[in-house]
Structure 1
């Protein structure tokens, strides 16, 4: 799906015409947020967005998993596997699963951390616990009430913010902002832009933790592209953020190609990208998520050798408050469950 341009415009007739539908959708979504969820039996940390589209959830999940392991935890990611055909529950195995099976983001994360995919999140909890998970990292699902969350950490892109601030389909919000703010325990702002400042101030005023972060390029990816002009392509929520990241890292982006989020690349599209890059003597570069969709188990197209998957890591300006926040939430979650027995 490509996001409509009017979602990120100050005002438009289209968005205003759709606001009644957005009000209805928002009322239903806000009511769902009040429902009691299933107790997973272990702490559940949810990483989500206020809006549709990308903001950096996947790098955030991986960064949190690293910190949790430093705290002695055994995190398992729970995902519904958007874009994959398997309903699960199933543990993602990169050696036998492709993006068409389990979704691109779970496949990418499974290279670094155990990932359970399940269309039914309660069944996914059971599978994660069978893997001896001491804490479940829920990838998305902030607006889904099926599982009770012990903490919700929301990711926002500092350049795009919340777009026009309207609820879908008039804008990108998944639910009215106020009930979402009320359930936000921490806000992770990605980048140095100003679009997230108002939301960050509101979260802080409500007692939530606000963290600044940035996407840091992987050194090996930078080395492969050093001194080269590139054709960059991406099928993610915000391809422009990827292009900005490349340029900020000193890479000369000569050409850009954008595709819809989770776009399933065909053989013809891949061959066309390779041919276009060769014609202009450019290196091909894409995101790790896009590269995951291009790869298939036991099948490696020769064209993939010409593509650099550009890896990034989410780095926090100060990780100490986050570590304390996570340790405190895990302690309180476990203490609460002991008291309920």
Structure 2
């Protein structure tokens, strides 16, 4: 009920800003990880490759700063959140709890495209293109609304506001059949960095992750032939401290194991531990980039 109340406030009571920038929202309808950030990054790379000036817009979840441009040389995850520190390696990132105010900052800095990483249920900024991302291995869970299920809002109503959907990874739960005839579907998959995986082969490994679905990271390691002797899951957006790191390395020591995590987790690790931890970069790959270009050029 609390979530529904906040949704109604955002939807009907807050003022919507209409920006002169082209606004692309990469969102979802379920709580937890669906792979939005790698897709937002891929879209940005494609647009930058076309010569456009692109920025990201994020609320900076769990960060203490607001209405700022991210500077990874002086900002930490405690300042701006974890995902913005990843995004800013690709393009500038505006942090703003109110997305409309964030768009104004982007306008002042001369950008042409603004990509919202999340924010499908936020109505403070008018979107030109709204994208819904679905994890092919999870779909929409039991199809029930919070708190009985994972849905942030009614699926059919959400689809009416979306321009197209992206299904990430192999469809193991019939999500494409559920969406068929309701919305255009683009497909793609997450590709892990080959060289990092090669370097981890023939080693014992302890993995850890604090993402929406941490076991997806475990599965990626196992499916690529990595000997994972232990795996530690943390809550999504977990802020790591020295106690966490000592716990992980104590687990690794008896095995002589290497320690590996995700890029999203790595940016939050205390600096003194980073040189002894590997991270696995990933990239989203569309099966057909031309379909994406056509969809975002409408």
TM-score, normalization: structure 2?
Answer: 0.93
Change (3 A) 1:273 1:116: same
Does residue 77 of structure 1 match 2:78?
no
Q: Match for residue 183 of structure 1?
A: 161
In the TM superposition, residue 261 of structure 1 has moved relative to its aligned partner by: 0.5
What pairs up with 1:197-212 in 2 under 5 angstroms? 197-198=174-175, 200-206=176-182, 208-212=183-187
In the TM superposition, residue 45 of structure 1 has moved relative to its aligned partner by: 0.4
Change (3 A) 1:33 1:201: farther
Question: Which protein has the larger Cα radius of gyration, Structure 1 or Structure 2?
Answer: 1
In the TM superposition, residue 128 of structure 1 has moved relative to its aligned partner by: 1.3
Q: Deviations over 1:168-188 (max 9, x none)?
A: 111111111121111121111
3-state secondary structure, aligned to 1:257:
strand
Q: Match for residue 279 of structure 2?
A: 309
TM-score, normalization: structure 1?
Answer: 0.82
Match for residue 47 of structure 1 among 23, 26, 41:
26
Unaligned runs of 5+ in 1: 1-20, 329-341
Q: For 2:140 and 2:12, how far apart are their aligned partners in 1?
A: 22
Q: Match for residue 169 of structure 1?
A: 147
Q: For 2:121 and 2:268, how far apart are their aligned partners in 1?
A: 26
Q: Deviations over 1:91-140 (max 9, x none)?
A: 11111010000000001111221111111212211111222211110111
In the TM superposition, residue 209 of structure 1 has moved relative to its aligned partner by: 2.3
Report the number of matched residues: 297
Q: Could you list the runs of 4 or more consecutive aligned residues of structure 1 that deviate by over 6 angstroms after TM superposition?
A: none
Match for residue 269 of structure 1 among 229, 241, 244:
244
Q: For 2:192 and 2:245, how far apart are their aligned partners in 1?
A: 24
Say what the alpha-carbon RMSD is for the aligned residues: 1.9
Q: For 2:109 and 2:162, how far apart are their aligned partners in 1?
A: 28
Does residue 68 of structure 1 match 2:47?
yes
Change (3 A) 1:267 1:25: closer
Q: For 1:271 and 1:25, how far apart are their aligned partners in 2?
A: 36
3-state secondary structure, aligned to 2:275:
helix
